[in-house]
Structure 1
Amino acid sequence: MKIGFIGLGNVGGKLAGSLLRNGADLVVHDLDPAAVRGFEGRGAAAADGPAQMMQACDAVITCLPSPAACDAVVQQMLPHAGPGKIWMEMSTTDAGEVQRLGAAMIATGAAAVDCPVSGGCHRADTGNISIYAGCDRATFERILPLLTIMGRRVLHTGDLGSASVLKVMTNYLATANLMTLCEALTVMKAAGMDLATTYEAIAISSGTSFVHETESQLILSGSRDVNFTLDLVQKDVGLFQKLADQHAIPLEISPMMIDILSDAQARYGVRAQSDRLIERFEEATGLSITAPGFPTELIDDEPEERGAEVCARR
């Protein structure tokens, strides 16, 4: 298959890099010419835009920052879609929107998949991230070889849109965990606990998590650079809240999280790194929530392996 990839940002560039590194016939497009040139220098071809890419490729992957950006790209691709073509949406987006655009794509005879990723930019860089895929089973089996290049664990979630529903849920949980970790680390510092010891105490306990084992290290090192910005977190939590509102679920924690994120954006900037949430507590208390010996960036040291499908229990 000739694969097109639109969106070479923090996540998309790494996913596209995994495809290229593993020998995929890859065509790329991005609004940043430097990002495109970088891929061309490594052997990828470049397309003038989404329309040309849909014409030239069997499958086109989009990984874009907003539903509006995705809509603009899909509208350019639709006139050139048809039988044998596949659109794969790897952004974290609104399930209703991906279903709307997917239905338009399917109406041309093409296939559509929402296949967002989870696990952090550092794991996207090594092909060890997890991927959800919402589509019919026949399409899933057709794209599975591509997904297992980009990800270690691949879950078929059901119909188109189901993967996006699950993804905003996981990002909501991760954000809630980040906020509670910020509170916990601050209280431990105030109580006189050594923060390196605190980190290990959490890591070996029932309170540990993926977020603790990754983002707490960046908080403690002082780098706070997780390659994920507050506006993207706010978008994802907002999508989860929207889903709850659609089903008349009276959430209590989610609205507080949205307020906290809005306050952090007002303080540090809309595009500030999400781990800077800890600085709200540092400013309020005068404490420094740092400790020596922690890394300033996350590096996935697991060897790259071909991924496999994860099957739900039945």
Structure 2
Amino acid sequence: MKIGFVGLGNVGGKLAGSLLRNGFDVTVHDLNPDLVAEFVPRGAKPTSGPLALMQDCDAVITCLPSPAASAAVVEEMLPAVDSSKIWMEMSTTDAGEVKRLAALVAERGGATMECPVSGGCHRADTGNISIFAGCDRDTFERMLPTLTTLGRRVLHTGDIGSASILKVMTNYLATANLLTCCEALVTMKAAGMDMNTTYEAMKISSGTSFVHETESQVILNGSRDISFTMDLVKKDIGLFQSIAEDHDVPLEISPLMVGILNDGIARFGERELSPNIIRRLEEATGLSITAPGFPAEMTDDEPEEPGYEVIPTGLSAPLAKLLDQ
């Protein structure tokens, strides 16, 4: 199968690298020609643009920073879509927008899968990231070998739109974790606690989280480099807030988080690294939240392993369907 890949940024570049590393026939495209040039020596083929990419490939993956960017690419590819083609959306996007674009693809006989990833850029780099897949079951099974190369744990979430909603939810939770970790670290520093000891206390306790065990490390190092920026966090938690508003859920914490990110962007710029939201508290207290011995960036120390489908526990619909087979 020939795979096209659009978007070679922090996440997309690592995912495309996993396909190349595992022997896939990959053609790449990005608005930054320097990124494309980096992939050609690794075995990727360049292309003239999205339309040519869809013409030449069986499936095209998009991994882009905004719904608008994805829409522009998909609309350019549409004339080349037919019943043999699949569009795979790996961006974090709006469920309504991915449904709209999927309908346009379906009108031309093509199939769509939304398959956003979760677990950090360092795991995207090793093929150990998690993937949510929203699509019909036939498309899921057709593309499962590709998904289990890109990621380790693959969850079929249901119809188009379901994966985007769940992905936005997980990013909302990750942001809440980040903000509370920042408050905890600054408060412990102000109380005179040793930062290395504080980190370990959080890690071995009920207060730990994936975010603490990754982002707290680069915060304490001082690099704050998690390959994710404040504008992307604001987009994701804004999408979650919109879902709640659309369903009349009167959230209380979410609006506070949106306000905190807006303030951070106003102070430090939208392309500031997201863990540097802690600077708001560092500046307010005059404290520097760093400690020796922590890495400047995260690397995945787990070996790359074949991926697999995750089946929801309990007698949920997906599991019940499998039991009936």
TM-score normalised by length of structure 2: 0.96
Quote the residue 1:120 is aligned against: 120
Question: Which residue number corresponds to residue 100 of structure 1?
Answer: 100
2:168 corresponds in structure 1 to 168
Q: Which residue of 1 aligns with 2:322?
A: none
What is the letter of the counterpart of residue 21 of structure 1? Answer: R
The residue aligned with 1:233 is 233
Aligned residue number for residue 32 of structure 1 = 32
The number of equivalent residue pairs is 314
Deviation at 1:117, TM superposition (A): 0.1
Shift, 1:69, TM fit: 0.6
Q: How does 1:109-258 map to 2 (within 5 A)?
A: 109-258=109-258
How far is the alpha carbon of 1:288 from its aligned partner?
A: 1.1
Give the letter for the 2:237 counterpart.
V
Q: What amino acid is the match of 2:261?
A: L
| C-alpha distance in structure 1 between counterparts of 2:65 and 2:193, whole Å | 40
Deviation sequence 1:99-143 (CA, Å, 0-9, x none): 000011011111001100000001000000000000000000000
Aligned to 1:272: 272
Deviation at 1:219, TM superposition (A): 0.6
Aligned partner of 1:14: which letter?
K
User: What is the CA–CA distance in structure 2 between the aligned matches of 1:20 and 1:151, rounded to whole Å?
Assistant: 14
Q: Distance in 1 between matches of 2:312 and 2:175?
A: 25
What residue number does 2:260 align with?
A: 260
SS at match of 1:145: helix
Gaps of 5+ in 1: none
User: How far off its partner does 1:40 sit?
Assistant: 0.7
Provide the C-alpha distance between the structure 2 equivalents of 1:292 and 1:171, rounded to a whole number of angstroms. 29
Q: Which residue matches 2:71? A: 71
Q: How does 1:34-49 map to 2 (within 5 A)?
A: 34-49=34-49
- Alpha-carbon distance in structure 1 between the residues aligned to 2:272 and 2:108: 40
Deviation per CA, 1:4-58: give whole Å up to 9, x if none. 0000000000000000000000000001111111111111111100000111100
The residue that corresponds to 2:320 in the other structure is none
- Give the 5 Å matches for 1:3-18: 3-18=3-18
Distance 2:260 2:185 in 1: 17
Give, in whole Å, the separation in 2 of the partners of 1:192 and 1:48: 58
Q: Following the alignment from structure 1 to structure 2, what is the Cα–Cα distance between the partners of residues 262 and 6?
A: 29
In structure 2, distance between residues paired with 1:130 and 1:19 = 15
Q: SS of 1:201's equivalent? A: helix
- Provide the rounded CA distance (Å) in 1 between the counterparts of 2:140 and 2:28: 22
In 2: Cα distance, 1:54 partner to 1:13 partner:
19
What CA RMSD, in Å, does the superposition of the two structures yield over aligned residues?
0.5
Structure 2 unmatched runs, 5+: 316-325
Distance in 2, Cα, partners of 1:188 & 1:206: 17
Give, in whole Å, the separation in 2 of the partners of 1:249 and 1:199: 34
Question: Residues 55-94 of structure 1: matches in 2 within 5 Å?
Answer: 55-94=55-94
CA shift for structure 1 position 71: 0.6
Tell me, in whole angstroms, the C-alpha distance in 2 between the residues paired with 1:73 and 1:227: 23
Percent identity of paired positions between Structure 1 and Structure 2: 71
Report the Cα offset of residue 306 of structure 1: 1.1
